[in-house]
Structure 1
Amino acid sequence: MVRRILLFFILILNGVFSQAQEGTVLNVEIQGAKRTKTSFLKKLITLKPGMVLDSVLLEQDIARLQRLPSVSHAYYQVFSSDANEHNVFYNVEENFTLIPFANLFSSSNDAFAFRVGLQEFNFLGRDINIGGFYQYDVFNSFGVAVRAPHLFSRTTGLSFSYNDFTTQEPVFFDGTTADYRYNNRGFEVMGLHEFNFKNRIEFGGSLFTEDYRYISGATNDIVPRALKVDKHLIKLIYNYENIKYYFYLLDGFRSTLNFQYVGSTNENLPEFLIGFNDFVYFKRVGDKGNWANRLRVGLASNVNTPFAPFTVDNNLNIRGVGNTIDRGTGAIVFNTEYRHTLIEKNWFVLQSNVFIDGGSWRNPGGGFSDFSDKQNIRIYPGVGLRFMHKRIFNAIFRIDYGYGITKDASRGLVFGIGQYF
């Protein structure tokens, strides 16, 4: 009995001693922040004065800071006193965040098209993203957006966007194609909330109008030549992220679920449900390599309509396939690529890229067997280059060349800003 009592006190004293060894945090400071408000950064980190020094929280705070568009890199330093009290310093290296951008591409009829814009990713020094764009793609388009993920608190914010988007879109029916002038005009409001470091949610909706106007091509008595429909949308996005950032190199896993209900006032564009999930996995390979993978699985209400929601497109899923060459009510797409650093200077990085994009679609009104139909499967290997600025957020100019190896495949160059995924 005496031995048990002694053992009990020894265990208690050992726990107290261990806690004393960890010590308490005397002060927490942010260093290196110039454009970003230090008060804002202190609000984001979880380690506070008076808490027990915790290496897990330190690493989590660094990962949180590195996710910010305004921060290119972050690390911590701990200075301890003889009294086992600690001064913690978070050191940040900032990005330049006022970014003009320009994107050149070919339109649906192979004409010259471009998008230009300006975006500030750290407005007021508080991680507020505000920007706008103008696009010419046969027709004129523009949009503005504001995203403030920490507007109301450390974990809760809001986003708003307005778009007046007009393009020339192919519509597929009865094995033929027609070109339509498509306009989408409306606004969206989303509430943003972070449950914890790895889990976030967005919930909201939009009101918009879709306007289709026939231009040329095949016709059908069932397919209207003019259609203008008021719609409403309810959207839920759930994001899980466990990725470690080291400048432009990534390591870890992310899953993003996007679920939407789209209501309509016209039976020609009926209401539908759509959901898709992006599974993304990054793996660092040595000091210069990065293996990146994305799997997208999506389904929508299987309505037999030429205006199906999932598209096969250069800029979305299959590099080299062309611009909006097909549509479907279901999609399975897999992208894998190996990025390798060829040149790295103080601010400049040149990356090479070898990739394989592949996917299949369910035809409108079709069955799940459509995914295995050779007519719907597309596989495009290719190569590319990335030109990066390490101190400017998302300053990555990419160029890829995709070459189709499946039936009736095409080939082509794809330009863009930022990594493909």
Structure 2
Amino acid sequence: MTLLLFSQETSIATLHIRGLKKTKQSFIENVISSHSGGVLDSLQLDKDMTRLKRLPLVSHASYQVFASNDTSYNVFINIEENFTLIPAVNVWTATNQQFAYKIGLYDYNFLGRGIAFGGFYQNNGYDTYSINLRAPYLFNNRWGIAINHQNWRSEEPLYFNDGSSNYLYNNKSIEALALFELNFNHKFQFGVNLFTEKYEYLSGLTSDDIPTQFEIDKVLFKFIYDLDFLDYNYQYVSGFRSLLSAQFVTTSNSFQDEFYIAWNDFFFYKQVGKRGNWANRLRLGLSSNSESPFAPFSVDNNLNLRGVGNLIDRGTGVIVLNTEYRHTLIQKGWFAMQSNIFIDAGTWRNPGGELNDFAKSHNIRIYPGVGLRFIHTKIFNAVFRIDYGIGVTDNASKGIVFGIGQYF
């Protein structure tokens, strides 16, 4: 990046975009605000570079400015493209202790226009599939759409006071969202999800209050507000982000009432020296507080506490803090390897409980641990992570967690 300050009288004679292979130049021109014939503004160019680096298709972006005459300049934007056709492969042991796997394929630069399109198939003893389309700049640099269809089937543990039972859970859904970018830092998503939930009892405890089989049609209204001040430099991230998600679910079934859920993720990242990155995530969430085994906030390896186990508990409120220090051990060309030291800590409100549940010792879980990251810097989200967490609170577990992408 070339940092220069210009008066309002200077202009961009021509704007050249270099380094594009798959991406359409018209798409990049649509995303950024700087253009040929416009005012030359270094602050706006800096924002354009940050905006480009947030795109999955861009590994890095910078610009250079050269004088054309006394009042106009030629601007060259240099883009390093990511490889964006990404396979997804996960293997794990499901709740029913059966071997499980997930395979998928996503293109995060479909048609060279920054569209994410793909899907996955999962088998954990039951068949699951999903198809997803996300085009954030389909109409212009502010408006886009997302359309998702999913048929999810899995064995889910439901927790009672005296024990638990296992149900076969099936969720068929179709979702349509409008994507709106107010400005550089403020993004919104809002829309509707039509879905059908079906539960079938498999094993474990039963209750007169919980039927062994039922099916419910529901409508979910979704709203997401993304306040984003993050800056990316390959595997390093700096800045602050707040991500608010709110949902309201209606149903005509007498067994389950209308339901709300909202949570906010606060992220803070700071680059430490040349090779270090301090990363933090704080999640605060509440939902309708019915005394039901179907509480929405789960305690799970892959969501919040590394080493805790697979879906070991549920709650109607959550406070979770994840903090970790990532240090780049090796950086050679496209390959980087990071070490990772972390602490995951969380507490939950019991279904039907009180806010003081958050302070009760048996609801608090703390898991420190260590991990490694293997990173391909030229492929979007190509981070293979291995973490080992050890619980230090009462009746804690320990374990290894694998995944694709940084944990947060």
The TM-score, its normalising length taken from structure 2, stands at 0.97
CA–CA distance in 2 between the matches of 1:318 and 1:360? 10
**What amino acid maps onto 2:198 in structure 1?**
D
Pick which of 69-78 and 218-227 moved more: 218-227
- Name the counterpart of 1:64: 51
- Specify every segment of 5 or more residues in structure 2 that has no aligned partner in the other structure, as ranges: none
Count of aligned positions:
404
Q: Report % sequence identity.
A: 53
CA–CA distance in 2 between the matches of 1:217 and 1:124? 49
Q: Does 1:365 align with 2:355?
A: no
Partner of residue 229 from structure 1, selected from 216, 235, 246: 216
- Name the counterpart of 1:73: 60
**What amino acid maps onto 1:178 in structure 2?**
S
Pick which of 161-170 and 48-57 moved more: 48-57
Partner of residue 248 from structure 1, selected from 211, 218, 235: 235
* Cα deviation 1:3-29 (Å, max 9, x = unaligned): xxxxxxxxxxxxxxx976862111111
- Name the counterpart of 2:384: 397
The 1:253–1:218 alpha-carbon spacing in structure 2 relative to 1, beyond 3 Å, is: same
Q: Any idea what SS the aligned residue of 2:363 has?
A: coil
Q: Does 1:152 align with 2:139?
A: yes
CA contact (8 A) 2:279 2:325 kept: yes
CA contact (8 A) 2:226 2:242 kept: yes
Q: Any idea what SS the aligned residue of 2:44 has?
A: helix
CA contact (8 A) 2:297 2:315 kept: yes
CA–CA distance in 2 between the matches of 1:22 and 1:105? 61
Q: Quote the offset at 1:413 in angstroms.
A: 0.9
Q: Quote the offset at 1:49 in angstroms.
A: 2.4
**What amino acid maps onto 1:269 in structure 2?**
Q
- Name the counterpart of 2:99: 112
Q: Any idea what SS the aligned residue of 1:87 has?
A: strand
Please show how residues 16-95 of structure 1 align to structure 2 within 5 Å.
23-95=10-82
**What amino acid maps onto 1:71 in structure 2?**
V
- Name the counterpart of 2:149: 162
Q: Quote the offset at 1:374 in angstroms.
A: 1.1
**What amino acid maps onto 2:143 in structure 1?**
T
Q: Quote the offset at 1:308 in angstroms.
A: 0.7
- Name the counterpart of 2:187: 200
Q: Quote the offset at 1:266 in angstroms.
A: 1.8
Partner of residue 262 from structure 1, selected from 233, 246, 249: 249
CA–CA distance in 2 between the matches of 1:19 and 1:118? 45
* Cα deviation 1:134-161 (Å, max 9, x = unaligned): 1111211110000000111111000000
**What amino acid maps onto 1:33 in structure 2?**
L
Q: Does 1:180 align with 2:180?
A: no
* Cα deviation 1:277-334 (Å, max 9, x = unaligned): 0000000011111100000000001111110111111111111111111111100000
Partner of residue 258 from structure 2, selected from 255, 258, 271: 271
Q: Quote the offset at 1:110 in angstroms.
A: 3.0
CA–CA distance in 2 between the matches of 1:226 and 1:52? 65
CA contact (8 A) 2:283 2:320 kept: yes
CA contact (8 A) 1:21 1:84 kept: no
- Name the counterpart of 1:287: 274
The 4+ residue runs of structure 1 with deviation greater than 4 A are 18-22
**What amino acid maps onto 1:379 in structure 2?**
I
* Cα deviation 1:184-228 (Å, max 9, x = unaligned): 111110000000000000000110011111111111111111121
The TM-score, its normalising length taken from structure 1, stands at 0.94
Q: Any idea what SS the aligned residue of 2:229 has?
A: strand
Pick which of 160-169 and 100-109 moved more: 100-109
Q: Quote the offset at 1:103 in angstroms.
A: 1.0
Higher helix share: 1
CA RMSD of aligned residues (A): 1.2
CA contact (8 A) 2:13 2:68 kept: no
Q: Does 1:346 align with 2:295?
A: no
Q: Does 1:308 align with 2:289?
A: no
CA contact (8 A) 1:20 1:84 kept: no
Which of structures 1 and 2 has the bigger CA Rg? 1
CA contact (8 A) 1:23 1:52 kept: yes
Q: Does 1:320 align with 2:307?
A: yes
CA–CA distance in 2 between the matches of 1:240 and 1:400? 29
CA–CA distance in 1 between the matches of 2:404 and 2:359? 33
Q: Any idea what SS the aligned residue of 1:64 has?
A: helix
- Name the counterpart of 1:142: 129
CA contact (8 A) 2:131 2:149 kept: yes
Pick which of 332-341 and 45-54 moved more: 45-54
CA–CA distance in 2 between the matches of 1:267 and 1:332? 30
CA contact (8 A) 2:241 2:266 kept: yes
The 1:19–1:412 alpha-carbon spacing in structure 2 relative to 1, beyond 3 Å, is: closer
Q: Does 1:420 align with 2:374?
A: no
Partner of residue 178 from structure 2, selected from 151, 171, 191: 191
- Name the counterpart of 1:219: 206
CA contact (8 A) 2:136 2:145 kept: yes
Q: Any idea what SS the aligned residue of 1:375 has?
A: helix
Q: Any idea what SS the aligned residue of 2:46 has?
A: helix
* Cα deviation 1:339-378 (Å, max 9, x = unaligned): 1111111111111111100100001110001001111111
- Specify every segment of 5 or more residues in structure 1 that has no aligned partner in the other structure, as ranges: 1-17
